[in-house]
């Protein structure tokens, strides 16, 4: 894209994980057997009236606050009218004029802010299955609460689009308002792409039904290229809705755009105004968890290496657990290595979750402290971890029961090291010539001779003392 | 008597997914114009100083707390559907995405 600037705006729909649907007191579970979680309201029967799920409003306020939005205190719902089999009452209840949140932003790693124009509540439609020239309808999804999050056209590359979506998804997962599974449709993104050589926006093309963030990035690239080819050949672009064929790496026309007011919006008369108080907002603000970017800063400041910071952020259970120790002197670097290394391996091997371990905080700290102070080596950790995680025994008790002696008789250690020095003359010479690897080698040889019965710190200190004397 | 253009009638019919014959198009051209004139009359009322009213009722919204599962049985859900293959309701024709 040499001469053209890409502009992208993204509309994300996420299904909320509330217990009930938004306008009917039916369970919200799209995985239930087909058409078993529906009632007359979800089916759009004449004469039925919607009521509003309080928790959907609470989730909307929480998400608005996390996205730095202003919460609309006096709001109503609107009807978006269109005929389609997945919407039997002929209109979708949504928020056109008074979205619950407005004027927010997400900050990218570069510091650039991507505006959130608005965030509104609406109902999902039935799920359609097209087969043999028929459309089969599952109304379990009808009335599932959705938040639509609309970005400003502030995104100028496929990379920014990907990062925006990753950050939004991460934030919604941390707020626990949605499970954000794009592959199952609980998070869906429509992407508007235009290109221009000036600061004016070009013709907007909407890309729909893209299955993953990776494919969205590809689709933006291919669509921008398509538009550039047309404009370079003096062609003109028309507002369209297109889809992305990942196998062919091209966007395909679905339809030319209908005019906006074809939806004939009007106010939803069946739902009175919703008024949100400052007290409500402040009560919900107190429930805001430490958000991912704030956690990143804390973890980096506590010495966790960047790659492990990202791994911890991806695993909310680990991150939440580590946050119990923010105000303690826990060695976060060692703790993160322990969680991501030996504890993760143990969980994978046993096919259990971290939460099912119910790992006592004092015990975890004690284990980390023992590793951090080098009282035990990583080799000994492997030998005792399973027992430590499944019993309430102390480290010393487990060591004793396994016949592992942490020898503290330094004269024994000195005798062994003196022999190691005699047997590894070449490495000793390398050490004195400044080769750090030689020192590590000699530590290894000593640990081998001692069968790891001395603490790694004692080996290191004694070896250094004897080599330098 | 004024009427809508044929294109305007067909546009409205298309939004409602209705197929109209020539007589119906002519008929609706007058009927829809009458409806639009009535709406125009309402739209012409000066209301800038009035708070928007979304309902004739002044009742406060009643929010429900999450606990119930007021579902109906699948049999009842499918009961009134003209086309069904258990557990689905279906409609004919191919539908765009």
pLDDT average, residue stretch B54-83:
89
The answer, yes or no, to whether residue A260 has pLDDT greater than 70, is: no
Q: In chain B, what percentage of residues exceed pLDDT 90?
A: 59
The answer, yes or no, to whether residue A410 has pLDDT greater than 70, is: yes
Which residue from B minimizes the CA distance to A21? B66
How far is CA A173 from each of CA A101, A119, A170, A181, B49, rounded to the nearest angstrom?
A: 18, 17, 5, 10, 44
Please report whether residue A257 resides in a domain: yes
**Residue B22 has what DSSP assignment?**
H
Residues A209, A158: one domain?
yes
Q: Please answer yes or no on whether B77 and A139 come within 8 Å at the CB atom.
A: yes
Contact in structure between B86 and A43 (CB atoms under 8 Å): no
Measured between CB atoms, does A25 come within 8 Å of chain B? Answer: yes
The string of pLDDT tens digits covering residues A349-402 is 999 999 999 899 999 999 999 999 888 888 889 989 999 999 999 998 998 887
The answer, yes or no, to whether residue A257 has pLDDT greater than 90, is: no
Q: What is the pLDDT of residue A254?
A: 87
Please report whether residue A287 resides in a domain: no
How many distinct structural domains can be found in chain A?
A: 3
Q: What is the pLDDT of residue A404?
A: 75
Residues in chain A closer than 8 A to B70 (CB atoms) = 24-26, 39
User: pLDDT category, A269, cuts 50, 70, 90?
Assistant: very high
Q: How many residue contacts between A and B have a Cβ separation below 8 Å?
A: 127
Last residue of a domain, one of A230, A259, A281: A281
Q: What is the pLDDT of residue A83?
A: 85
Q: What is the pLDDT of residue B97?
A: 55
Please report whether residue A108 resides in a domain: yes
pLDDT average, residue stretch A219-237:
94
Measured between CB atoms, does A389 come within 8 Å of chain B? Answer: no
Last residue of a domain, one of A281, A306, A329: A281
Radius of gyration of chain B (CA): 22
Q: Select the residue from A22, A25, A29, A263 to test the B interface by mutation, using most B Cβ atoms within 10 A.
A: A25
pLDDT average, residue stretch B74-97:
86
Residues A276, A304: one domain?
no
The string of pLDDT tens digits covering residues A89-145 is 999 999 999 999 999 999 999 999 999 999 999 999 999 998 888 999 999 999 999
Residue A52: which of B61, B69, B92 has the nearest Cβ?
A: B61
Q: Please answer yes or no on whether A25 and B92 come within 8 Å at the CB atom.
A: no
The answer, yes or no, to whether residue A456 has pLDDT greater than 80, is: no
Residues in chain B closer than 8 A to A264 (CB atoms) = 15
**Residues 12 to 31 of B: which have CB under 8 A from any A CB?**
15-17
Q: Please answer yes or no on whether B77 and A130 come within 8 Å at the CB atom.
A: no
Q: What is the pLDDT of residue B20?
A: 95
Say if residue A110 is exposed, middle or buried (CB neighbours under 10 Å; 0-12, 13-18, 19+). Answer: exposed
User: pLDDT category, A66, cuts 50, 70, 90?
Assistant: very high
The string of pLDDT tens digits covering residues A182-194 is 989 999 999 999 9
Q: Select the residue from B69, B76, B83 to test the A interface by mutation, using most A Cβ atoms within 10 A.
A: B69
Residues A76, A222: one domain?
yes
Assigned token pair, A218: 């590809």
Q: Please answer yes or no on whether B68 and A25 come within 8 Å at the CB atom.
A: yes
Q: Please answer yes or no on whether A272 and B93 come within 8 Å at the CB atom.
A: no
Q: Look at A49 and B15; give whichever has higher pLDDT.
A: A49
How far is CA A279 from each of CA A28, A55, A175, A276, A328, rounded to the nearest angstrom?
A: 28, 16, 20, 8, 33
**What is d(CA A16, CA A199) in angstroms, rounded to the nearest whole number?**
37
The answer, yes or no, to whether residue A341 has pLDDT greater than 70, is: yes
Residues in chain B closer than 8 A to A139 (CB atoms) = 77, 89
User: pLDDT category, A173, cuts 50, 70, 90?
Assistant: very high
Q: Please answer yes or no on whether A133 and B67 come within 8 Å at the CB atom.
A: no
Measured between CB atoms, does B89 come within 8 Å of chain A? Answer: yes
Q: What is the pLDDT of residue A261?
A: 58
Please report whether residue A417 resides in a domain: yes
Which residue from A minimizes the CA distance to B90? A136
User: pLDDT category, A407, cuts 50, 70, 90?
Assistant: low
Measured between CB atoms, does A440 come within 8 Å of chain B? Answer: no
Q: What is the pLDDT of residue A244?
A: 93
Residues A233, A328: one domain?
no
Please report whether residue A167 resides in a domain: yes
Nearest chain A CA: its distance from B64 CA (Å): 5
Residues A235, A380: one domain?
no
Enclosing H/E stretch for B79 = helix B74-79
pLDDT average, residue stretch B74-96:
88
Q: Which domain holds residue A432?
A: 410-468
Contact in structure between B81 and A38 (CB atoms under 8 Å): no
pLDDT average, residue stretch A453-467:
83
pLDDT average, residue stretch A22-40:
96
Q: Please answer yes or no on whether B96 and A52 come within 8 Å at the CB atom.
A: no
What domains, with CATH codes, occur in chain B? 6-43 (1.10.20)
**What is d(CA A457, CA A413) in angstroms, rounded to the nearest whole number?**
12
Average pLDDT, rounded, for chain A: 92
User: pLDDT category, B6, cuts 50, 70, 90?
Assistant: very high
Residue A272: which of B15, B60, B96 has the nearest Cβ?
A: B60
Residues A302, A228: one domain?
no
Give the bridge partners for A245, in sequence order: A250
Please report whether residue A271 resides in a domain: yes
Residues A168, A194: one domain?
yes
Nearest chain A CA: its distance from B49 CA (Å): 18
């Amino acid at each position: 894209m040499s001469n053209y600037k890409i502009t992208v705006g993204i509309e994300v729909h996420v299904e909320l994980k509330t217990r009930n649907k938004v306008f009917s007191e039916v369970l919200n579970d799209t995985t239930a057997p087909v058409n078993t979680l529906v009632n007359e309201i979800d089916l759009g029967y004449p004469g039925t009236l919607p009521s509003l799920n309080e928790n959907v409003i609470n989730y909307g306020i929480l998400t608005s606050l996390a996205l730095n939005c202003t919460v609309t205190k006096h709001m109503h719902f609107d009807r978006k009218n269109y005929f389609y089999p997945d919407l039997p009452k002929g209109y979708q209840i949504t928020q056109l004029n008074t979205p619950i949140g407005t004027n927010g932003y997400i900050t990218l790693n570069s510091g650039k802010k991507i505006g959130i124009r608005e965030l509104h509540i609406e109902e999902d439609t039935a799920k359609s299955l097209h087969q043999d020239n028929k459309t089969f309808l599952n109304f379990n999804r009808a009335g599932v609460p959705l938040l639509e999050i609309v970005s400003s056209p502030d995104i100028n590359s496929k990379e920014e689009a990907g990062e925006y979506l990753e950050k939004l998804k991460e934030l919604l997962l941390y707020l626990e308002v949605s499970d954000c599974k794009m592959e199952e449709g609980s998070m869906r993104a429509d992407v508007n792409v235009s290109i221009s050589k000036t600061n004016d926006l070009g013709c907007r093309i909407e890309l729909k039904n893209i299955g993953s963030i990776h494919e969205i990035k590809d689709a933006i690239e291919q669509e921008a290229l398509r538009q550039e080819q047309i404009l370079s050949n003096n062609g003109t672009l028309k507002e369209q809705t297109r889809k992305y064929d990942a196998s062919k790496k091209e966007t395909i026309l679905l339809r030319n755009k209908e005019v906006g007011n074809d939806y004939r919006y009007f106010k939803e008369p069946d739902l009175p105004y919703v008024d949100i108080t400052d007290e409500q907002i402040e009560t919900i603000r107190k429930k805001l968890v430490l958000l991912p970017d704030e956690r990143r800063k804390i973890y980096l400041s506590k010495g966790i290496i960047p790659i492990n910071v990202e791994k911890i952020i991806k695993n909310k259970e680990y991150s939440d657990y580590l946050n119990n120790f923010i105000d303690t002197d826990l060695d976060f670097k060692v703790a993160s290595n322990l969680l991501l290394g030996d504890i993760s391996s143990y969980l994978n091997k046993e096919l259990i979750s971290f939460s099912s371990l119910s790992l006592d905080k004092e015990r975890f700290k004690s284990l980390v402290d023992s590793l951090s102070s080098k009282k035990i080596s990583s080799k000994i950790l492997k030998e005792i971890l399973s027992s430590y995680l499944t019993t309430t025994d102390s480290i010393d008790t487990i060591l004793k029961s396994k016949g592992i002696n942490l020898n503290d008789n330094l004269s024994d250690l000195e005798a062994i090291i003196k022999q190691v020095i005699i047997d590894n003359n070449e490495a000793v010479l390398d050490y004195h010539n400044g080769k750090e690897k030689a020192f590590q080698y000699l530590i290894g040889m000593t640990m081998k001779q001692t069968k790891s019965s001395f603490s790694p710190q004692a080996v290191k200190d004694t070896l250094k003392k004897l080599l330098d004397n | 008597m004024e009427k809508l253009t044929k294109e305007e009638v067909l546009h409205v019919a298309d939004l409602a997914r209705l197929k109209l014959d020539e007589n119906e198009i002519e008929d609706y051209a007058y009927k829809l114009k009458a409806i639009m004139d009535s709406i125009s009359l309402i739209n012409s009322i000066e209301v800038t100083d009035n708070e928007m009213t979304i309902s004739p009722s002044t009742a406060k919204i009643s929010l429900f707390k999450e606990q119930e599962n007021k579902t109906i049985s699948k049999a009842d859900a499918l009961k009134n559907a003209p086309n069904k293959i258990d557990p689905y309701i279906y409609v004919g024709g191919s539908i765009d995405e």
